[in-house]
Structure 1
Amino acid sequence: MPTAPQTTDELYQELRENDRRPYGRTRTVTAEELAEAAEQFDDPEPLIDALLELQEAYTYGSEPRKSPVVFARLLTLLDEQPDVFDERQRNQLFWRFKWVANALRALPEVPLSGLRQWLTEMRDRYEKAGLGLQPYYGQVYQLADHLGEDTTAAYELWAARARTPYSDCEACEICERARHHLTAGDDQRALRTWEPVLAGKQSCQEEPARSASYALLPLLRAARADEARTLHLTGYRACRRNPAMSGEVGRHLEFCALTGNEARGLELLAENRNLFDEVDSPLDLLSFLTGVEVLLQRVELLGHGELPAAGYAGRTWSAAALRAEVRDRADDLAARFDARNGTTAHADRRRARLERAPLLAALELTLRVRTLEDVTPAAPAPTAATSTPAPAALPESLTELIVRTRSLDEEGHPDAKARWARLRTLLDAPDYTHPDDPAVGPLARLRADLLADEAGTAGERDDFARSTALYEQAAARYEEAGLPGAAALARAAALLATAEKAGEDADPAEKAAALTDAHAAMVRLHEETPDLAPRQEARLLRLRASVLGLRLQTSGNEEHAAPAFAEVDLLHEHAVRHEVGQVSGARLLRASTHALTGDLPAAVAEADALVERLRADGPAWHLPRTLVLRGQIHLGLRDAEAAHADLTEALRLAADWPAHATDTGRVHALLAQTCMRLGRPDEALRHLTRSAELDLRRGSRTAAYCTYSNAAQLTLDLGRVEDCIALLDSLLLEPDVVAGELDDRLVAQLRLTRARALHAGEDLKAATAEFVSLAAESAGWDDDPSSHAMIAAETAVLLGESGEFDRAREAARQALAAHALAPRYEQLSSCLRELARLQAQQQGAEGLAGALAHLADAGRIADEARAAGYEARDRSLDSALAYEHGRVNAYAGEYEAALTALDEALALLGEPGEEQGHAGEWAECVRLAGAVEGIYLKRPAPALPRLDAAVTRLTALGHTEEAKPLTSLATQLREGE
């Protein structure tokens, strides 16, 4: 707080502002400062309000040691100056006796006698004030439950009494009753009791999030896993990072551990790392730590104790080390409570949670399904400078391993990759001895082979610079080994990688030129390298054909088609003549070249023939790739069913081969596209998320996040709001996102989708906060004012929904300024019209001037759009503006102006035709005009003919649904006559 408030008006203004802040240290510190500032005023009333705000901050900020101290001061003020408390303040004070009882129970250092004494104080005060004792008996029951005593009598004394104005809210009492049944082992009765809260019919500050956390396991035991999943998503989001709800977070961690979602549990633990240090309530901390221990115990039991886990600040933790630390701290807390209480209740409850067996082997909680294996960091590749453990016993001699690996590599067999990796490990070992065998050749040749393999892997990952360098090194080693043919192949591959690198940031013409140069260099290299073995020549011809195929794909130039086909024919003729195993590769290139030229029937015919050949004669590992190509061709032919069949079979067959053999991430992406064409969006979503996760694993992180962004948007379009938010929350916690290493615009897109999902999920406060933050960030995007205009416009509308019209006006100004640089006519017009409607609707006549100012801005945008020749995609900007003038004036009670505006809107719309959208807009305009004229202006005589004529017109055109509201209004007006 920059300066302390100098007047009571300033104090109350700052109290109101602080009340809008989330609970936590910022709100608590500000409340402390305001309470201190309130001491300066002679009037005690501001001090009472400041102390009430401070106690609330302590209570919901999980600081139970401080809450009773503030309350004691309020109680002293009540005793000394009872007349200065108004009715609101007195009600607040008596309500908060329960807060103090809860706080004292949470502190093991408070003796049991102190707890009972406080309840006696509460009962005496309530009796003296003539208040019902149901809240007191509620606290007696909660103490008995806390102590682990038989609660039967205490429960009846509380639950059988009628509620009073000072009882806990209905949602909280429902939770207590349900928990009582849960403790008694009656899951079904507990779940029935919880129904109003879990269905959203009863809620409060902590509900339904608190109830949801307790209901998760009973729902699983009742075989209602889908409901448990939904409650986990909604309930967790409501309590995450909140110190006052750390126990609820712990129960969500436990739920993850017992449903095969240990990886998600570790992710949520990382998100809630702040709770280790910010929870000041020993009771809440005990519950949280026990949930953490359940999770870590499960991780360790599954053999992943060395996985990193987020824990106490100041050091790096493994799951096993953190579990040991958490266990000691939680055991100590439980022992302290049990010592104070004279029972073993807390140790027993801890033990029961820790001894629970998993309830489900696997429950898909989010769209991003990951196991502990997925989050295990990859082991670093060994280097010559490090000690490498001896490899396992070989099934063959070293000589046989090298010879067999080369043979497999020449065939293009997928198993060669793993064998090269094994040889790399052997070669890097300090005690490696190269075989003295002519069949193996010199060490330089083996090193060249390994460099070429590594270069191929780099190229597959689009790391073309590294690929080029490695191929050049391999070529030099092959020359050293006296193998000019192998050296030529490596240099040809380097030429292709160089051309692809040159084309990364170039326009199509430049990239095509680079590929032309690469082909010419390959041809020269081919001509200048004598005595190539037939198999080597085939591989060189394939590189030549590939580079011309890429050129055709890049340029789309018909003149590039014939040379590409010619190279493919050369390859095919050579492969057939020498039987060197490149026939299927040549035919695959021919099919793809036909596809690139747009001759899809020829392409599919070639692919069909190749599929049949591969099914009959192999090689089998070529079949998945060929099916993927045929699936793409079928997509181009608009045969989505055939494409789906090919791509699905390709995925199935790819599972028989090493992961690198087929880019399954791309196959999943193609299947997602196919499923959307087939009208199967849920299946498409599964393929999108699988594609993204596979891209993440192979290091293509930007591509993965883009795919996940598309998946999140599709999820939102499908109305799966909580799934969308959970997916984006998970992505935004990725280390490279947190560290700011990912492209900031891509992160902003993820956050924007999340903000829209929060809005769709009616979490207006969170959505508005995210939009405000994004609007502030995007204001600096000088290269992209259009996006800032969009974000600022959406921000303005959300601020308007929250009733913050001054801030909404400022956001709208930002949007208008950006719109001036990059016009967004429809979006800005819509934003301003919506702001006008919200202000008039919420403020009535008082908000009319502000609403009309927004509409004036919208009018200028409509004029600009007309002058620019812009045509709206949906409704006309002018007719929409006139209609909004009608609504705004009607909300403000200016009915004549409203009717005039609506008549103008109808004139602009014109008579309806057969189009559904136009008819609906016209009918709504007639309905509002009829209501203004017939009801508010009390002129049914002209209103009824208007309505009757519209009904006749709409009915004749077949728009019976659109006519129904008009018929209903006409009936209402006639009955009123």
Structure 2
Amino acid sequence: MPTAPQTTDELYRALEENDRRPYGRTRTVTAEELVDAAERFADPVPLVHALLELQEAYNYGAEPRKSPVVFARLLTLFDEQPDVFDERLRHTLFWRFKWVAHALRALPEVPLTGLRQWLTEMRDRYEKAGLGLQPYYGQAYQLAAHVGEGTDLAYELWAARPRTGLSDCEACEICERALYHLAAGDDERALRTWEPVLAGAESCQEEPARSISYALLPLLRTGHADRARALHLTGYRACRRSSSMSGEVGRHLEFCALTGNEARGLELLAENRNLFDDVDSPLDLLDFLTGVEVLLQRVDLLGHGELRVAGYAGRTWTVTGLRAEVRDRADDLAARFDARNGTTAHTDRRRARLDRAPLLDALELTLRTRGLDDMAPVAAPAARAAAALPETLPELILRARESDERGHPDATACWARLRTLVAAPDYAHPDDPALGPLVLLRADLLADEASLAGDKDEFDAAAARYEEAASLYDEAGAPGHAVLARACALLLAARVPEERGDGAEAQAAALTAAHAALVELHEKTSGLAPYQEARLLRLRATALGLRLQTSRNEEHIAPVLAEADLLLAFATRHEIDGQISGALMLRASTYALSGELPVAATEIDALLDRLRAHGPAWHLPRTLGLRGRIRLGLKDAQAAHADLTEGLRLASDWPSGTLGTARLHGDLAEACMRLGRPDEALRHLTRSAETELRHGSRTDAFCAYANAAQLGLDLGRIEDCIALLDSLLAEPDVTAGALDDRLVAQLRLTRARALHAGEDLKAAKVEFAALAAESAGWDDDPGSHAMIAAETAVLLAESGEFGRAREAADQALAAHVRAPRYEQLSNCLRELARLQAERQGAEGLAGALAFLADAGRIADEARAANHRARGRGLDSALAYEHGRVNAYAGEYKTALAALEEAVTLLGEPGADENHAGEWAECVRLAAAVEGIYLERPDPARARLDEALSRLTALGHTEETKPLTSLAARLREG
């Protein structure tokens, strides 16, 4: 706190500000400082308020040792100066007797006699104050349940009594009753009891998150896996990282462990690593650590004990090491509670949780399906089982070179294995003339590394590796290989402008120069093996194909086809099937790029026939993928879906990641969207993303995941969307700032929109405000800042913060000057005006009209720039909003005039349903203002009758319903 409050008004403002902060150290420390400040005032009332705020911070900050101390001061003040406590403060004081009872239960060092003495104190105080004793019996039951003795009688004494004004909230009491039935082994009755909370009908500070965490396993046991999945997503988000809900986090980890989602559990554990050190409540810590141990035990039993895992600060943990540490600490805590209570209840409950067998082999919890293998560092793709690698080193080297020469997918695994062997300190290269010297093998491995880098669009690095490989090939006496490596370096160097994001013209120029250099290199080289010369011809054709793809210039079509035909003739003459296929594929894709899709389809059909007859079989998946894309272009989504599905099926016969499965999944997602199957599209998008991620293409993976998140949001799968984005934003390269900052911002923006859609306005507001502040510095992209600031303004207005909303709108307007966003900004300003007038009435009219004045200027600018809105016309929408705003403020004559102007601007309703609906809504609101608020029902009915006749004549029956309803209301007076 910069400076201590100097007046009681400043103190109360500081208390209100602190109350808006999330629970945690910042809020707690500030509350402690405010108590110190309040003690300096003569009036004790501010001190009472400050102490109440401090106790709340301790209670929800998981610091049970400090909460009773603060309450003791409050109780002393009450005894000494009862008049200081008005009815509200007195109610709060007696309510918090229960907080202290809970805090004392959470501390094993407090003897059982002390707990019972406190309950006696509570009972005596309640009786003396004339208060009902149901809250006391509720605490007595919770103590019995904690100790594990006398629970049935204690439950009856509590549950049979009527609630009072000091009883726990309905949601909390429902949870306690459900837990009683759960402890008795009656899952069905527990779930029936929980239903009002799980359905959202009852809630409070900690509910429904607390109940959800307990209900997950009963839901699974009773066959409600889908509901358990959905509640896991909502419930976990409500408790993550919260020290006061560490037990709930532990139960979510346990749920993951028992549903085949161990990887998800480790991900959540990493997100909550703060709880190892931040939780000061021994009881909550025991609950959390037991859930952690259930997860770690499961991962260890599955053979992944050496995985790195997040744990206590100060050292690096493996699953096995952290499991042992957690077990020792949790065993000690359970033993301390049992020693205090004189029972074995906590040890028994802990053992029961640890002894549970998995309830499901696999339950897909999130859109991002990951296994424990995915948690390890990215490894080279493994070969399919059918193609076991040779056991001897000479055979492995020969297999690698032979596979590479043919373009066989097995080459990938062979080179990966060789790379590991050669890197070993004790590697000894075979003395075999057929294998060549070690420098030749090192050149081969460098060339393979260059190819892998090129696949990840790391063109600069790939070109450098090829150049280095060429030098080693020269040293090894392999000139043909050296020429090929230099040719590859030439092509990749020409793609560096693409990697840098240079314009299409620069990229096309670089590729033109590269093609000329490749031709020159080819012409001055002799003695190449046929497969090497075919590759060189393929590189020449590829350079021109990439140029066409970049420029889309019709003049660049013929040169590609000419080079492809050269390659085809040469490969046919030398019977090189792989390059014959490559030439035909290049011809088909060239026709597709040039827009001649029927010709492309004919070419690709012929290629598929040839591949099925002559091979190579591993070219089929990519070829089917291209035919699928061509058929999408021909608007035959069903046929495209069939091709792409077949391509995926065939790709599964080959080593993972070698045949473009990520692209096939991405294209299938598009086909599914066109077929109206968005859920299937979502699955393919996430599979595409995870495939890219497994093979190191992280930018492509995050782009695909960003599309999946947006689609999830569009489909209304809000919690799925948020869970996916939370997982992505916790990735190490994101948190370390290694991923493109604009891509990360897009992920965060989608998350903020999802939070908004899910009505978590507080969290959405924080994220939008942060994004608005960051995007203000995007000098190269002011349009995006305008959009983000506009959305932030609307969210602030929805929260009632119209001053801050005005500031955000001004930021959006300033950015709009540099990069106009007419429609988006006009929509935002009109919505801001509506919200302010709706919430504040006449008091907010001036602010609302100021927003509309800005929207009017934007409409004028759009008209001057000949901008045509895609949706509602800006002028008619503005007139309608003037009508609505003035109606909210009670300015009915002005409202009616504006609405009549809107009707005029819209013109006559036609066949378009959207336009007719907009016109009908303007008429309806005008009639409501005129007939109800201006008390002129006759002209209002005439207005409606005329509109109904027009709409009916045009066949717009749905649009007439609101008008008919209003007309009936006006007739009834």
- 8 A contact 1:503–1:514 mirrored in 2: no
Query: 3-state DSSP class of the match of 2:576?
Result: coil
Tell me if the contact between 2:657 and 2:691 (Cα under 8 Å) persists in the aligned partners. no
**Separation of aligned partners in 2, 1:899 and 1:243:** 55
The answer to which of 19-28 and 710-719 deviates more is 19-28
* Kept in 2: contact 1:257–1:358 (CA 8 A): yes
Contact 1:414 1:660 in 2 (8 A): no
Confirm or deny: 8 A CA contact 1:565 1:593 kept in the other structure: yes
Per the TM alignment, residue 825 of structure 1 is displaced from its structure 2 partner at its CA by: 2.1
Which residue of structure 1 lines up, in the alignment, with residue 818 of structure 2?
821
Q: Quote how far apart the aligned CAs of 1:380 are.
A: 10
Structure 2: distance between partners of 1:803 and 1:425: 61
Matched residue pairs, number? Answer: 965
- Look up the match of 2:463: 468
Once the 2 structures are TM-superposed, how far is the Cα of residue 925 of structure 1 from its aligned partner?
A: 1.9
User: Closer, same or farther in 2 for the Cα pair 1:962/1:117, shift >3 Å?
Assistant: same
Q: Which residue of 2 aligns with 1:439?
A: 434
Q: Name 2:354's counterpart in structure 1.
A: 354
Deviates more, 1:113-122 or 1:559-568: 559-568
2:928 aligned with 1:934:
no
Q: Are residue 411 (structure 1) and residue 406 (structure 2) matched?
A: yes
Mean alpha-carbon deviation: is it higher for 862-871 or for 635-644? 862-871
Report the CA distance shift for 1:206/1:481 in structure 2 as closer, same or farther (over 3 A).
closer
Structure 2 residue corresponding to 1:601, chosen from 595, 598, 602: 598
- Does residue 455 (structure 1) correspond to residue 447 (structure 2)? The answer is no
Match of 1:652 in 2: 649
Structure 1 residue 253, shift from structure 2 partner: 0.6
Write out per-residue CA displacement over residues 15-39 of structure 1, whole angstroms, 9 at most, x where no aligned residue. 2112111111111122222222222
For 2:93 and 2:498, the matched residues in 1 are separated by: 72
Q: Distance in 2 between matches of 1:126 and 1:313?
A: 45
Change (3 A) 1:857 1:98: same
- Supply the distance in 2 between the matched residues of 1:869 and 1:706 (Cα, whole angstroms): 34
TM superposition shift of 1:101: 0.8
Change (3 A) 1:443 1:72: closer
**Cα distance in 1 between the residues matched to 2:818 and 2:543:** 43
- Cα deviation, residue 429, structure 1: 4.5
Question: Which residue of 1 is the match for residue 865 of structure 2?
Answer: 868
**d(CA) in 2 for partners of 1:433, 1:882:** 83
Query: Is the Cα–Cα contact under 8 Å of residues 169 and 204 in structure 1 kept in the other structure?
Result: yes
1:147 — aligned with what? Answer: 147
Taking a change above 3 Å as real, the CA distance of residues 807 and 521 of structure 1, as seen in their structure-2 partners, is closer
Once the two structures are TM-superposed, the CA of residue 559 in structure 1 deviates from its matched residue by: 3.0
Give the alignment of 1:122-271 within 5 angstroms.
122-271=122-271
C-alpha distance in structure 2 between counterparts of 1:855 and 1:803, whole Å: 18
Q: Structure 1 counterpart of 2:168, which letter? A: D
Distance in 2 separating the partners of 1:531 and 1:606: 33
Between 1:535-544 and 1:746-755, the stretch displaced more is 535-544
Correspondent of 2:544 among 548, 564, 575: 548
**Displacement of 1:822:** 1.9
Secondary structure of 1:491 counterpart: helix
What does residue 288 of structure 2 align with? 288
TM superposition shift of 1:852: 2.1
Deviation larger for 555-564 or 791-800: 555-564
**Using the alignment, how far apart are the partners of 1:548 and 1:422 within structure 2?**
35
Give the 3 Å change call, closer, same or farther, for CA 180–895 of structure 1 in structure 2.
Answer: same
Given candidates 491, 505, 512, the residue that maps to 1:509 is: 505
User: In the alignment, which of 682, 701, 705 is matched to residue 702 of structure 2?
Assistant: 705
Partner residue in 1 for 2:574:
578
Work out whether 1:521 is the aligned partner of 2:510. no
- Preserved contact between residue 293 and residue 326 of structure 1 (Cα < 8 Å): yes
Q: Distance in 1 between matches of 2:441 and 2:150?
A: 77
Counterparts of 2:711 and 2:465 in 1: how far apart (Å)? 41
Distance 2:895 2:790 in 1: 26
* Higher alpha-carbon deviation: 168-177 or 72-81: 72-81
Tell me by how many angstroms 1:395 deviates. 4.7
* Partner of residue 566, structure 1: 562
2:846 to 835, 846, 849: 849
Cα-to-partner distance string for 1:638-667 (whole Å, 9 max, x where unaligned): 221121111111111111111243021111
Matched-pair contact (CA < 8 Å) for 1:902–1:925: yes
How many angstroms apart in 2 are the aligned matches of 1:797 and 1:437? Answer: 74
Instruction: Report what 1:800 is aligned to.
Output: 797
Per the TM alignment, residue 681 of structure 1 is displaced from its structure 2 partner at its CA by 1.1
Q: 2:958, 2:272 → 1: CA distance?
A: 51
Q: How does 1:276-425 map to 2 (within 5 A)?
A: 276-378=276-378, 395=390, 397-425=392-420
Partner in structure 2 of residue 384 of structure 1: none
Taking structure 1 as reference, are residues 88 and 833 closer, same or farther at Cα in structure 2, changes over 3 Å only?
A: same
What letter corresponds to residue 315 of structure 2 in structure 1? R
Alpha-carbon offset, residue 329 of structure 1: 1.0
1:471/1:770 CA distance change after superposition, 3 Å: closer
Q: How many Å apart are 1:175 and its aligned residue?
A: 0.6
Report how far residue 95 of structure 1 moved.
Answer: 1.2
1:775-814, aligned counterparts within 5 Å?
775-814=772-811
Structure 1: distance between partners of 2:909 and 2:587? 55
8 Å contact from structure 2 (residues 378, 694) kept in 1: no
SS state of the match for residue 471, structure 2?
A: helix
Of 753, 756, 760, 2:753 maps to: 756
Residues 19-168 of structure 1: pairs in structure 2 closer than 5 A: 19-168=19-168
Deviation at 1:677, TM superposition (A): 1.5
Q: Cα gap change, 1:418/1:829 in structure 2, threshold over 3 Å: closer, same or farther? A: closer
Of stretches 176-185 and 822-831 in structure 1, the one that deviates more from structure 2 is 822-831
Shift of 1:180: 0.6
* RMSD of aligned Cα (Å): 2.0
AA aligned to 1:783 is D
Take 1:5 and 1:347, find their aligned partners in 2: how far apart are those partners?
49
Q: Distance in 2 between matches of 1:198 and 1:450?
A: 58
2:385 maps to which residue?
none
Q: Which amino acid aligns with 2:176?
A: E
| CA distance 1:516–1:773, shift in 2 (3 Å) | closer
* TM-score (normalised: structure 1): 0.96
Task: Give how far 1:939 is off.
Answer: 2.2
Matched residue type, 2:191: L
State the SS of the aligned residue for 2:408.
coil
- 1:659 partner SS: coil
Aligned to 2:9: 9
Q: Is the 8 A contact 2:458 2:499 kept in 1?
A: no
Deviations 1:445-498 (A, max 9, x none): 333333333332232222223332333333333333433333322222222222
Unmatched segments (≥5 aa) in structure 2? 382-387
- State the 1:430 CA deviation: 4.8
Letter of the 2:514 partner, please give it. Answer: A
Identify the range of structure 1 (576-585 vs 23-32) with the bigger mean alpha-carbon deviation. 576-585
Q: What fraction of aligned residue pairs are identical, expressed as a percent?
A: 78
Q: Which moved more, 1:127-136 or 1:35-44?
A: 35-44
Closer/same/farther in 2, CA of residues 952 and 341 from structure 1, 3 Å limit: same
CA distance, structure 2, for counterparts of residue 12 and residue 778 of structure 1: 34
Q: Give the 3 Å change call, closer, same or farther, for CA 492–102 of structure 1 in structure 2.
A: same
- Contact 2:269-2:310 within 8 A present in 1 as well: yes
* Offset, 1:173: 0.6
Residue type at the aligned position of 1:107:
L
**Offset of 1:697 from its aligned partner?**
2.1
Match of 1:648, as an amino acid?
A: T
Deviation of residue 281 (structure 1)? 0.9
**TM-score, length of structure 2 as denominator length:** 0.96
Structure 1 regions of 5+ residues with no counterpart?
Answer: 382-392
Q: Which among 485, 488, 504 is matched to residue 483 of structure 2? A: 488
Per-residue CA shift, 1:766-815, capped at 9, x if unaligned? 11111111111112222222111111111111111111111111111211
Is 1:587 the equivalent of 2:584? yes
Work out whether 1:536 is the aligned partner of 2:526. no
| In 1, Cα distance between equivalents of 2:661 and 2:27 | 50
Deviations 1:150-182 (A, max 9, x none): 311111111111111111111111111111110
